[in-house]
Structure 1
Amino acid sequence: MAARDQDDISPPPIKRRKMSNSSPPSKTSSGVQRDELRIYSWNVNGIDPLVQRPITSFFEPRGNVRGSSGSTVSTGLRDVLRRYSWPTLLFLQEVKIAPGDESAMKAVERAIQPSADEPEEAPSYKAFFCLPKDKYNARGFGRKYGVCNIIRQDFFDAHVERVREVDWDLEGRFLVCETKPFQSLPKLAIINLYAVNGTDAPYKDPDTGKPFGTRHDRKLRVHRLLQAECQALSSRGFQIVLAGDFNIARAPIDGHPNLRMYPKQHCVNRADFEARFFRRGTRLGGGSEGAEKRDTVEGDGGEVDEGLGMIDSFRHLHGDKAGYTYHPRGKSFGTSCDRVDMILTSSSLRDHLAEAGIHETPADRATSDHVPLYISLLSH
């Protein structure tokens, strides 16, 4: 199939919604907006190319990229932050840093700091890592997985309570940023996630290495655990933002040219994801034979619960507009792609949600096989 028209691949940025009873947004001299919380998410498929200097860029001279036609610019992490106008948070997935690799983590920390030739007011950032500890299920280069939260220093100092891991994951997939209230925004739990990819490969007991179901089983178990984590946070007064690679596409509109339907277990995984995170008042278990069977594989009793009723930010603001985040390398861009990366929010954040978008170009994909996505939450 021929590549889609470029206008379909890279739509112009949506206009900011007008918020009722709000003043015009104020910005610092560095262009950082004071009343806006901007969250970016990007599966980088290995962070090494973003911290090596010098590096030839995959960014093309379009959008916010400066340079004449045919020129190239650096794609270091600092350049990525500048390109996207100094986001409040940049969540990276699949960083592929081995546990204990202090030199790699320090390289990331150096790569996000202002350089000597930047204006004095250019923002600084802090980096936090969750790296895999599971030697049986996270093997290979850099133990394969790992996530990183990059947080703007001014926001961290004023509004972040803590950044923490979760105790039910050892594969380096989840990192929680808990904030204080931010102007009219409530306190937030913003979770960077790299969800399990469901396959028939064995899932192994992380202590003994003994096979314990499949990666499909583990994916469904993690759905349950993440849902419970969100419920516990909500009971403590947090509103939730989930940002990252969910390794699942929701509906036919989210897969091009087709949504993955085979083998059948992918449909079971999708139905379980929908019920747990989007529906409200849905009783789980009895209505989903496959999900119920899979949930009980790890011995948690398959207890019944209700869905979280979250908002899919891109779908909420863009309706049935097509947009994709996963563009595998080796195929023409736009010919085979899926929207597996998402940013979900608690329904109570609906009126704060001002923007949601995908930077869907080969330039923004850079050295990865995913493109970045983002949301803006406005205080009003």
Structure 2
Amino acid sequence: MNYDALKQEIIDHADELGIDKIGFTSADFFSDLKGRLIRQEALNYQSGFEEKDIDKRVTPSLLMHEPKSIISIALAYPSKMKDAPRSKKGERRGVFARASWGEDYHTVLRKALERLEQFIQERVPDARMKSMVDTGELVDRAVAERAGVGWSAKNCSIITPEFGSYVYLGEMITNIPFSPNEPMEDQCGDCNLCVDVCPTGALVQGGQLDAKKCIAFLTQTKDFLPDEYRTKIGNRLYGCDTCQTVCPKNKGIDMHKHPEFEPDPEIAKPLLEPLLTISNREFKESYGHVSGSWRGKKPIQRNALIALAHFKEASALPSIFEVMQHDVRPVMRGTAAWAAGKIGGEEAEKMLLKQKELEQDEEVLKEIEKGLSLCK
């Protein structure tokens, strides 16, 4: 079998397989990466969403018997929303990050990898393949970097010359010995914008992220948001794009190559108040297809309360009081109390004092006290 010819055939057919960029690398051990992951873990910089076994993240041979190479794929997604609704007084809106626009990218990438697997299997019937997207063991960015798809940037994203960092990544381990591509030279240079403007200082330095401080992580947590971050997330409901939008390499890039990634403006930038009382069924029907729904409605609803506080939207106080009084979840009641205090005014203070007499949960009572102190 002429594997170089097969490699070129895959590259030539990538577009019709729904793949925007493709790279090839060896299935060797990721030695440099292991050291970095151990340091990240020692510094407690991991989010907790990653594969726990570091060896599996850096050793393809633990995931497949005698692997020979890895194929890295990238799919471009839009950076601009058509007909985006405006957030205005009385009709405040939150926003989902671009990575949650349109259909869940895990689903779209898996379909692309399935088409690629079928394409290869038809030509090499005894080929073995194992594909993964995001939640797999390997580190997508490390594979893409070594496969020459792009360079690993200071904002901890892969930046491609064609699509900037607005790409989703996936990979396939195989027993086919494809010739590896050369990694791409780092092109960030002296630019440090992403590090300088990170709202929470999560980018400790170029290429190093304290994931627990990252707004993309914080918006996915389910507990009370730490006080120091509540004023940082603004109206973000899920994810954060700041380190991408400031990047000069992303300037002018807006790809609309996949209809699946086109956002529904009312889902990607929804009204905040209706989210406070949305039922599980309504949430699943409206948001179940987007990647930002994977943690359920609770984080989104908590973030919606914080967003209303960010806007100091006094017209939302009745809805916020409703949550504070009747929601069975302490995190929601407590966050509502804090949000009411942040918005402030006599009405908020009166309701907080009333609820203080009725509330029995200690954590919620602490949030009511915070709300009352903000009112003064």
Same fold (TM over 0.5): no
- What is the TM-score when the length of structure 2 is the normalising length? 0.29
Per residue, is there more strand in 1 or in 2?
1
Q: Which has the larger radius of gyration?
A: 2
Per residue, is there more helix in 1 or in 2?
2
